[in-house]
Chains A and B, each alone.
Chain A
């Protein structure tokens, strides 16, 4: 199949959507498909061969923060050229509700089109008011994919209609095969996430730590992620501070080894998660997981069967659960097995097959009525913009 994938966010900036698209494209190429990814990028030369730059993105205030997006006549022209050159059997746009390349591609093209919704659309008011702009685009999308049940629900609330849920994929083998790091083993609790982002929940975990240490004085907390360590640790008593190690930013390999090393991985996030890829990575490494019971987390953890849950933001409950688990090696081992079994659902082999099945369903339906020839075409109705 000739597959065109559109990434709305800057390829040079690390982010969940970008990583997902990169892994998906590489997975599909390994299967022998012809894939082209259109993404905003500053520098053509450093891009993988399957990525086409749509020019640089522009920083613009959007949704209460400054976002880097691609829009305007120059981006629209590049999208059209890419569509013409690509002659795709299927067009896969990501986050078509954010005002960037995916929205432009959905607008400029017609034919078999799949859209993946990664996050919720925070401002429904704008979405509703702008629907005369967005409706014609969304009407052309033949199949919608949401990355989680939570993302699907917000999609249904804001836009109506329905979507299939296909989770983000991970390379389970990469995490499962990582070597534990001896320095990080032996009564350790792990946390990975930006230190100064309260929604990642480090303050909750630090608040629970004294109680955990009271029961298990030998426990160490390993914190990986960028941010100001001193600020984060400022409120800790010295004897508690001594049991916390900040590792700073870690590479993918180090992350995998960390997850393989810790006795318990804690995800105390307090909100803002529509999927929870870090939990999938932890399960891939067969880590015992203790996570806050956010909707998205509960779903990724199979309702608590593949990892334990505690009430969001409740440090005392987190401490009780952690103490109980650290006292019970049999339960920890059981959680590890459950995680390793459950996580196969998220391996690219499974996720990629699901996405291909969506492509084929959509393309088959269209092929029946339109015959051969490139099936993704330019939409003539907007031709005055070329």
Chain B
């Protein structure tokens, strides 16, 4: 008789553990969704500021065209091409804002200061958002590869989380130390 009681206790404890793990996983998925939405928003914001700058005629036409093309491609890219397109936008921004002189010129024209502030904040937030996202991905993946989660299919149909890999290095002249305050 006592055997039955022990068995029942074990089953109940296991059920509690399963439920607790499922709850953890659910929270991680929510965190992942939030992080992904935040990353999306930052990428979109960066592309928008870049495109705005490109069409503002505050820059010379050649730099404008390069930025326009790259930001346009980044905004239009489908999921599979997104990482490449966003990386190319980073490279275009670095090419244009590699020189402190370019930042100084933009700061000097009317309206330049504002755009520059928007752009600086956008390019610095992308790496942050991406790091938070990839951190959430790593945590969710660690739990999802756990045996209990796999055997009991606790993740359901949620897609396996993928890190967002891109070149998000900030242009030298817009980085905190490179910007002439």
Contacts and interface: CB of A to CB of B under 8 A. Distances in A.
B80 interface: no
Interface in A61-107: 61-63, 69-76, 99-101, 103-104, 107
A73 to B, nearest CB: 4
Contacts of B62: 69-72, 75, 99-101, 103-104
A69 B98 CA distance: 14
Interface string A138-161: 000000000000000000000000
B55 interface: yes
B95 A126 contact: no
B134 interface: no
Contacts of A134: 61, 65
B39 interface: no
Contacts of A72: 59-60, 62-63, 95-96, 98-99, 102
A73 B99 contact: yes
A103 B59 CA distance: 13
Q: How large is the interface on A (under 10, 10 to 19, 20 to 34, 35 or more residues)?
A: 20 to 34
Nearest to B57: A133
Interface in A25-82: 58-63, 69-76
A130 interface: yes
A137 interface: yes
Nearest to B94: A60
B99 A103 contact: no
Nearest to B66: A99
Nearest to A57: B95
B102 A73 contact: yes
Contacts of A129: 68, 72
B166 to A, nearest CB: 13
B162 interface: no
Nearest to B103: A73
A238 interface: no
Interface in B53-79: 54-55, 57, 59-66, 68-70, 72
A60 B93 CA distance: 9
B68 A126 contact: yes
Given A69-B62, A129-B72, A61 B57 contact: no
Contact of A133 (B68, B72, B96): B68
A23 to B, nearest CB: 25
Interface pairs A-B: 3 shortest CB-CB? A71-B62, A99-B65, A99-B62
Interface of A: 58-63, 69-76, 99-101, 103-104, 107, 123, 126, 129-130, 132-134, 137, 384-385
21 contacts: A60-B66, A60-B95, A61-B91, A62-B69, A71-B60, A71-B66, A72-B59, A72-B62, A72-B63, A72-B96, A73-B101, A99-B63, A103-B61, A107-B60, A126-B69, A130-B64, A133-B54, A133-B55, A133-B61, A133-B65, A133-B68
